[in-house]
Structure 1
Amino acid sequence: MIDGNCTWDEFKARVAELSNKTEGSKLLFRGQASSNWDLQTTLERSLHPEDICEYYRLILRIKAEVQTYTRENWPSEPNWAEIEREVVGGYDSFSRFMTFGSFPHYAYMVYLRHHGFPSPLLDWSGSPFVAAYFAFRDSRDENVAIFAFRERDASGMKVGGDDEPAITQLGPFVLGPKRHFAQQAQYTVCTMWDKKRPYFRNHSDVCRPYDANQQYQQDVIFKFVLPSSERRKVLQELQLYNLNAYSLFGSEDSLMESLSIREAWRE
């Protein structure tokens, strides 16, 4: 069994074992401060709409204010009416849009995700150590969890239908805030065509544990549960790799957090 309960040292060994296998797409990692938490996006935890078109209407409505106050700027096309025509044009149109198209306003959505606005993007890292930092940074329970996600197996294929939710992996090559690159961030989005409109859905409805007896697998999830009692050991080791709040966020607040933790350990 690859995943399950383990210590920090066992986790590193198991991840190395997984990473050395060439069974499919590259692994992505996500750390969560409680092992009891589901794989939820910040949009799912908010009061905002999960209807895809209505969500785009929302973020485009606030875009002028975001650009004004942040001095950032993103392309204005496609507009909401164009998105609605493309996305609600039918399942086939929506499926092509999600599989082959350019996710509308991706850079803008990445910025919103990194700065606290509810987002359908579930953020991952290409580094298990970055994920470990986020798991242990503010551990909330007896155990933390680090997830590893593999979208495709060695065949490189994915299958689905118009009555099933599907996960789309969005690549790292997007103009984003500095922390996007520092965190080696990538994102996934889970969607489903429901009757006449598409909606964002929960990743846990799609992800499945690895099955050694199954030949072809997609959207495989590995869950590692580690004790929060190892927090100090883990964060001290990650500090040796210069993985701390300031290196991952780059803000003045994160600098103060990093200095506080460093000095507390020095006492």
Structure 2
Amino acid sequence: MQGQWIGEINGEYAGTLRVEVEKIGDEVSGNAYLFYDKSHQLPGFRFPLSFSAIPPYITETQTIYLFTEGGVMSQEDRNRVEAALTARFGKLPIPAKLNVELVLEEENLRVKWYSDDHEEEALTLQHFDIKAASDLKPRADLTTWDQFRQWAVSQRPRHFIFRGQSEPHKLATTFHRTWRKDLNGWIVDDVRKLFGVMAERLSFPLQLGNMEHNAAFWNILQHHGYPTPLLDWTLSPFVAAYFAFCNIIPGDARTPRIYIFDADAWNAKYGKILFFADVAPPQIVVLESMPAGNPRAMPQQSVSTVSNVADIEGFIRRREEEDGRSYLTVCDLAAEEAPKIMRELELMGITYGSVFPGLDGICRDMKDRLFAQQP
């Protein structure tokens, strides 16, 4: 058993339950996260999970209190909140210890929980397939390069962020595309180990625990191939076009895609908040981290989104339905336009060497120039 499952809690106190577990050896471990809607003025909770890899998946877990928008409470904060909850409900709505059972029902997950003085409750959580093709339909007004270029230069800078892909795969972070799903384990274990072996090679003295420094270090990991909960975007529609077409040739069966995300509208609704990737409600946060130790960030006009949901497109779609507006659209262009697009991008100064500065970039630029197929 391994994966991420999310379910909505309906009724008087609505909220979201998220389970993230992964199998390592003979053990399945991970965490469950419970967050109520902000209007209820209730804390969030994390429940560490550890099971034998052989079912039934039953365990006892401790309750860890979280702030409504994310982050672990101190013992002092927890004592204060528990006193307020007891006064409000007559007892704690979530006990300090819970018995939990996970039951796989095809792709979905049935979660049951109870304690000595609480009745059993259960909820079915949904598993989202991020390996499937994207459900997004391409914009009808941006079907050619000329249309896209004209539209792009008419937009206000920094209003949208863009992402180019050679194929219309679903949006998902490099972390969520692996078998790993326990973000808390990634942060506590992976990041600390990586920082330990990389710190002396960093040109800027980053410190884990500082939010700005965490974001910068995660971006360094992302840009050097380590799986992270970040998704790369750019402020430039033309840099996005480069990444969509840099490996495309005429006649290619793939359909290059440019994602267009209305970051201004998203931030206006959901705010540019500090990110807690694991101990937070399901979220996507637009992140402009400082480029320390990452020479590629500035040339690529790099922006990231950090997310604790595997199915980013599905999450945005649900928010669009709730808010009655569009945040994410896509532009699909024909592979046959690749030579024209790449020629124009080179005239703009967007080449492999410009977006990947260094010896690799120089050699790739010269290869593209001197080994180009002759007409």
Q: TM-score with structure 1 length normalisation?
A: 0.73
Structure of greater Rg: 2
Pairing 1:127-146 to 2, within 5 Å after superposition: 127-139=236-248, 141-146=253-258
CA 163–73 in structure 1, closer or farther in 2 if over 3 Å, else same: closer
Q: Which residue of 2 aligns with 1:233?
A: 340
Q: Is the strand fraction higher in 1 or 2?
A: 2
Question: What secondary structure, in the 3-state scheme, does the structure 1 residue paired with 2:350 have?
Answer: coil
Q: Whole-Å Cα distance in 1 between the matches of residues 194 and 351 of structure 2?
A: 32
Contact 2:203 2:292 in 1 (8 A): no
Alpha-carbon distance between aligned partners in 2 of 1:136 and 1:209, rounded to the nearest angstrom = 30
RMSD (Å), alpha carbons? 3.3
Q: Percent identity?
A: 25
Indicate whether 1:62 and 2:199 are aligned. Answer: no
For the 8 Å contact 2:236–2:301, the answer to whether it is kept is yes
Q: Which has the higher contact order (CA 8 A, sep 6+)?
A: 1
Q: Summarize deviations over 1:92-121 as a string: whole Å, max 9, x none.
A: xxxxxxxxx936611111111111111111
Q: 1:12 aligns with which of 132, 141, 149?
A: 149
- Which of 78, 101, 113 is the equivalent residue of 2:222? 113
CA-to-aligned-CA distance 1:23-75 (integer Å, 9 cap, x gap): xx71000000112x11121112223x33232111212112222235x354543
Q: Which whole-Å CA distance do the structure 2 matches of 1:132 and 1:209 have between them? A: 27
SS of residue matched to 1:156: helix
Q: TM-score, normalised by structure 2?
A: 0.53
SS in 1 for 2:270: coil
Output the CA distance in 1 between the equivalents of 2:358 and 2:241: 20
- Give the structure 1 partner of residue 331 of structure 2: 224
Cα-to-partner distance string for 1:154-209 (whole Å, 9 max, x where unaligned) = 992229xx997321111244424111001000000122xxxxxxxx4331122239
Shift of 1:231: 1.2
Q: Does 1:157 pair with 2:157?
A: no
Question: What one-letter code is carried by the residue in structure 2 that aligns with 1:52?
Answer: L
The 2-side partners of 1:249 and 1:71 are apart by 18
| CA distance 1:250–1:152, shift in 2 (3 Å) | closer
For residues 172 and 31 of structure 1, the distance between their equivalents in structure 2, rounded to whole angstroms, comes to: 20
Q: Which amino acid aligns with 1:206?
A: F
Q: Relative to 1, partners in 2 of residues 1:59 and 1:11: Cα closer, same or farther, differing over 3 Å?
A: same
Corresponding letter in the other structure for 1:120: P
Bigger mean CA deviation after superposition, 137-146 or 222-231:
137-146
